[in-house]
A and B are shown apart, each in its own frame.
Chain A
Amino acid sequence: MKKSILETILDPHALSVRFQPIFKIQGSARSIDSVEALIRGPRGTKFERADILFDYVRRKKAEAAVDQSCVTAICDAATGLPSAVRININVHASTLGHNSGFVDFLLRHLQKQSLAPERFTLELVEHAPTCNISELTNSIARLRSCGLRIALDDVGLGQSNYRMMLDCHPEYFKLDAYFVHGLSTDSKRRAVVESLVTLAKALESAVVAEGVDSNDDLLRLQAMGVDFVQANLLCAAIPLDELLATGYLNDPSFGKPARPEMRVKSVHRVDQRWTPSGLAAGQSFYT
């Protein structure tokens, strides 16, 4: 009997992991702060695309089970990263709010793979009205006590709302590409981003802008006081071996402000479409 797609997804070996750097921006210098681990579904299926994969998972109401499967796949892959590299993992807020076993599961896996919890940031994603808030905050408190950090993903969209900001006290606001894309030429988008940056600072959170795809947007974000950017413009989500091959993670300046020669010498626009394997034509990191 052929496995259902959900059964296939629940096998961590069917999932693949890509890593996309998050850059700290300081003046004209940029350095890699951390990497976000991004899941791709079973190869050769339509569910290889993350948007399709997680839409399906939510329709099946299987977020908690799939989050565990993703954590397993990511922990396996993360063992190949240099130990100084910090790693972001996406988790549904509902998984932390409904399934108290997830925190134990995550900590057990980190221990099993000898990965220090302090290296991890959990990015809370939520597409459904939030769960049990006290359970969620208890889970977050446990995670923090072990050294993990919390990011609120897709801020401004869906259920990533003001209440989540107050209840979760995220160390990071991740601004969705929807608000970031084209803000240099769109005063309304700029107004939204400026208000979110102001709010984040007031709540003592750092801001990560996602989906930056032009230098003009990047410069604007920098002027607004955005601390971090994650962008195909700088580096797409790529498999571990390709990321390691860039050499950036092994550089002694990793995690510190970049030396002048580490700055972007030239930047290419990257095709925004996700491609199933490797770097597509036109994709690049620093060159």
Chain B
Amino acid sequence: MELWSQACLYIDMADRVLIIDDDEQLVEAYRDYLSDNGYEVDCAQELEEAQTLLAHLSYSLVITDLRLNKLAFGGLDVIKHVRDNSLPTRVIVVTAYGWPELKAEATASGADAFLRKPMRLSELGKAVIQLAGARV
């Protein structure tokens, strides 16, 4: 909890986060963790659902799986959507793939952080805090 106490110094606890992943259990774990720590969390299972929510609601942060819509790199389209629409939204890409080229590709596309699954929730929390801190 200390991690989150530090975060409170930097972030508006009403910040809204969008989690995009078709793995229900994982989404639930992320959602519960972030909700418990004061974030408002929405979830999407697929690209179009995510694009729609991003078009109508404001998110300070998106956490997206790299594999979306059964496409190995579908998550890159989320980053593209955020950047093309100049949304003030940070993007964390998570993936089970470990290839260094993927991280380079995601970063080049505009991802703000890249995390490998499986990971501890505290790792996710740390990335969230870093990005939220960078916003202010």
Contact = CB atoms under 8 A, between A and B. Distances in A.
Contacts of B24: 2
B108 to A, nearest CB: 25
A51 B55 CA distance: 10
B52 interface: yes
A5 interface: yes
A46 B16 CA distance: 13
Interface stretch (B43-51, B97-105, B122-130): B43-51
A55 B55 contact: yes
Nearest to A4: B45
A52 B45 contact: no
Interface string A1-42: 010110000000000000000000000000000000000000
B48 A52 contact: no
B48 A59 contact: yes
B46 A52 contact: no
A55 B51 CA distance: 9
A46 B54 CA distance: 11
B56 A55 contact: yes
A2 B48 CA distance: 17
A119 interface: no
Q: Chain A CB within 10 Å — which of B24, B49, B51, B52 has the most?
A: B52
A258 B68 CA distance: 56
Interface residues of A, number: 11
A61 to B, nearest CB: 9
A55 B48 CA distance: 9
A46 to B, nearest CB: 6
Interface in A41-96: 46, 49, 51-52, 55-56, 59-60
B45 A5 contact: yes
Contacts of B51: 59
Interface residues of B, number: 12
B52 A59 contact: yes
B115 interface: no
B56 A51 contact: yes
Contacts of A55: 52, 55-56
B24 to A, nearest CB: 6
B57 A46 contact: yes
Contacts of B45: 2, 4-5
Interface string A98-109: 000000000000
Contact of A60 (B42, B48, B55): B48
B56 A5 contact: no
A18 B42 CA distance: 25
Interface string B87-116: 000000000000000000000000000000
27 contacts: A2-B24, A2-B45, A4-B45, A4-B46, A4-B49, A5-B45, A5-B49, A46-B42, A46-B53, A46-B56, A46-B57, A49-B56, A51-B56, A52-B52, A52-B53, A52-B56, A52-B57, A55-B52, A55-B55, A55-B56, A56-B48, A56-B49, A56-B52, A59-B48, A59-B51, A59-B52, A60-B48
A-B pairs, top 3 by smallest CB distance, nearest first, are A56-B52, A59-B48, A52-B56
Interface of B: 24, 42, 45-46, 48-49, 51-53, 55-57
